[in-house]
Amino acid sequence: MHIQEIAKDLYYVGVIDHSLKVFDVAILTEYGTSYNSYLLRTKEGFLLFEGSKEAFGEEQIAHIEEICPLKEISYLFVTHTEPDHSGAIHLLLEKNPELTVVASGPALMNLQKILRRPFKKVQMTPGKDMEIGGYTFSFVPGTNLHWPDVMFTYIHELKALVSCDAFGAHFASDAVFLSKEPDKEGYYKALRYYFENIMGPFPSFVIKACDLVEKLDISLILPGHGCIIDENPMEQVRLYRRLAEEGLPKNDPNLVTICAASAYGYTKELAERTAKFLEERGKEVRLHIIDALNYQEEKPLVLQDILHSGMFLLGSPTLAGDAIVLFYDILNGLPWTKAQGKTASAFGDYGWSGEAVPNLSERLRQLKCRVLPGFRANFRMDEAQEEEFSRWLESLLA
């Protein structure tokens, strides 16, 4: 049981899950997680911040009922509607149909589709504070951290920010409070992995949210996962800003990343000649030749170089009617939010059908890159193909 009094009249009523190994299908949770929720006693009844995951709904209710009967909760504040926070809200409403849900406009729309039942609601609006039972609540957009519906709640009297997924970590802490957590190293490892996988694709939105949060006087951050941040909360915000700034695409127009793989040396030769051509024209080129053996080491370097480059070129031979699978893995590590606006093209040799270049070009279009026509060489180039290759090289500078 992890019910804790956080501050006067504010209680932790969340659920801690040490057993979780994978979150959202693909995100490993080495340290488990928690589904945090908070109960505030006011002069006009209790307020609940955050729902829970469906499987933990009854446990959340049991925790709440150690403090007050469910019927005494008048408002439920929802900061975002991913079902790890909203999946059990239907249980709260079944037991307390008078509960009024307070959430952003998009979150209320989502909730309607998740609950499929009528419910009382109030829309959170930035600049329009709510006052309930002696407490004042302001709403701070956390748009796209990591869903479009995110809205933080700032509780003035407690100097507390209810931040949902932001500033948290998948980390099951029996200590509940960061100041009491003995495994700080594990916590920050979990936090960085969480940031990279959940917030990392949205660096410009993270920075926008940090700009707003940094204007607040905060003593406590109450996140949706992991420890309550009760020491140096602004340090956590600054860490988020730093991580987001590191992940911002730079799109340096003079920098070109070339990443190529080559079975028999033909595509490698194209890559090297392309690099030489571009360097002779004053570009800075980062050339990576990858294969299955060096891939794990090269992948982060390739992604980092692509992030900084205004242009990137992928060179793959065709294998079994497609590009080498490593390229799709690289592109999976490059969300469209970071790829958009970069110039990109594909090239490579082929023996029979040559699908690698059109298939990679299609994926680059899906990532909203400015995609230039690719270049394909059929085995070793003849004179006509040499001329075509020269034209392709020139087109990269156009």
Q: Is 149 in the site for ligand FEO (CB under 6 A)?
A: no
Closest CB 358 distance from ligand FEO, rounded Å: 36
Closest CB 165 distance from ligand FEO, rounded Å: 4
Q: Which is nearer to ligand FEO, 81 or 316 (CB)?
A: 81
Choosing from 63, 85, 342, 376, the residue that interacts with ligand FEO (CB under 6 A) is: 85
Give φ, ψ of 60 to 5 degrees: -60, -45
Q: Which is nearer to ligand FEO, 84 or 305 (CB)?
A: 84
Closest CB 172 distance from ligand FEO, rounded Å: 14
Rounded CA-CA distance 232/244 in Å is 19
Task: Using the rule CB under 6 A, give the single segment among 82-90, 98-106, 286-294, 331-339 that binds ligand FEO.
Answer: 82-90
Closest CB 220 distance from ligand FEO, rounded Å: 19
Per-residue binder mask for ligand FEO (CB under 6 A), 197-226, x = binder = ---------------------------xx-
* DSSP 8-state class, residue 63: H
Q: Is 82 in the site for ligand FEO (CB under 6 A)?
A: yes
Q: Which is nearer to ligand FEO, 85 or 90 (CB)?
A: 85
Q: Which is nearer to ligand FEO, 74 or 173 (CB)?
A: 173
Q: Minimal CB distance to ligand FEO: which residue? A: 82
Beta bridge partners, 367, equal none
Alpha helices in the chain (DSSP H): 57-65, 83-86, 89-95, 105-115, 184-194, 203-213, 233-246, 266-280, 295-308, 325-332, 336-339, 356-366, 383-397
Q: Provide the token pair at 338.
A: 């970071």
Closest CB 170 distance from ligand FEO, rounded Å: 9
Q: In terms of Cα–Cα distance, which of 180, 168, 177, 278 is closest to 223?
A: 168
Q: Is 334 exposed, middle or buried (0-12, 13-18, 19+ CB in 10 A)?
A: buried
Does residue 52 sit in helix, strand or coil?
coil
Rounded CA-CA distance 95/113 in Å is 20
The amino acid present at 274, given as its one-letter code, is T
Rounded CA-CA distance 41/189 in Å is 34
Q: Which is nearer to ligand FEO, 82 or 349 (CB)?
A: 82
Q: Is 142 in the site for ligand FEO (CB under 6 A)?
A: no
Rounded CA-CA distance 227/176 in Å is 5
* DSSP 8-state class, residue 373: P
Closest CB 196 distance from ligand FEO, rounded Å: 15
Choosing from 50, 149, 165, 355, the residue that interacts with ligand FEO (CB under 6 A) is: 165
Q: Which is nearer to ligand FEO, 104 or 309 (CB)?
A: 104
Backbone torsion region of residue 256, taken as left when φ is above 0, otherwise alpha when ψ lies between -120 and 50, otherwise beta:
beta
Closest CB 343 distance from ligand FEO, rounded Å: 33
- HSE (side-chain half, CA atoms, 13 Å) at 209: 34
Q: Which is nearer to ligand FEO, 223 or 247 (CB)?
A: 223
Q: Which is nearer to ligand FEO, 57 or 224 (CB)?
A: 224
Choosing from 84, 149, 181, 305, the residue that interacts with ligand FEO (CB under 6 A) is: 84
Q: Is 90 in the site for ligand FEO (CB under 6 A)?
A: no
Which residues contribute to the site for ligand FEO (CB under 6 A)? 80, 82, 84-85, 146-147, 165, 224-225
